[in-house]
Amino acid sequence: MAYADQSMSSRKLVALVGVGILHALLGYAFITGLAFNVIKKVSSDLKTFDVEEAPPPKEAPPPPPPQKVVQPPPVVSPPPIVQVQQVYTPPIVSVPVAPPVIHETAPPAPPPVSQAVRASPKGSMQNLMSTDDYPSASLRNNEEGTVGYKLEVGTDGKVTGCTITQSSGHPMLDETSCRLLQRRARFNVAKDAAGNPQPSVWPGRFVWKIPKD
């Protein structure tokens, strides 16, 4: 029984292999024939033709020069006309006016202007002192010289003060000069422009000189 099954399996195997080889051969034959028919059909459909070279492209002509565009001048519109309303102005009529009558009266004459008067001595100042007025000490010492002085004169013409402006170099002579001038000198009173008495100053010199016998 086991031997019979083994024989049967071997035959089935051989049969299957044979069937496979047969199918392979049929497939090969089928494929080979089909490919040949396809190649033959394609070869009959192909047509030979010559390919012509395309001519070289023609050079494009140069572009035309740009044309100048002339712009029209701008249109200037005239300014609007403004109407000014004229205002009537009546003419000015000048009426002559008589000049006023002026009665001129001569002004009164101004009073005479009086000039100021300076003080002046009454007599010579040198004659106010004599040899007897010479200081004895100055005679013994032979003192001589010129004394410069300034007298202050009051409103009554009398001397109110004396100042030595230049010394003789001898104090005794300077002192005697001021003392005697204040006692003896008299002046005409100084007056202002209105004629009023004014105090004043009188400068002068006195010379002391020893008399010769």
Domain assignments of the chain as residue spans, ordered by start: 1-34, 120-208
For the residues 186-202, what does the mean pLDDT come to?
92
126-155 per-position pLDDT tens digit? 898 888 899 999 999 999 999 999 999 999
Of the options 3.30.2420.10, 3.40.50.970, 3.30.2390.10, 3.40.309.10, the CATH number for the domain spanning 120-208: 3.30.2420.10
User: From edge to edge, which strands make up the β-sheet containing 145-153?
Assistant: 159-166, 145-153, 200-208
| pTM of the complete model | 0.45
Name the band, by pLDDT with cuts 50, 70 and 90, for residue 46.
very low
Neighbouring residues of 158: CB distance < 8 A, sequence distance ≥ 6: 186, 187
Give the pLDDT score at 48: 47
Q: Which of 130, 144, 146, 155 is nearest to 204 (CA)?
A: 146
In percent, the amount of the chain with pLDDT more than 90 equals 35
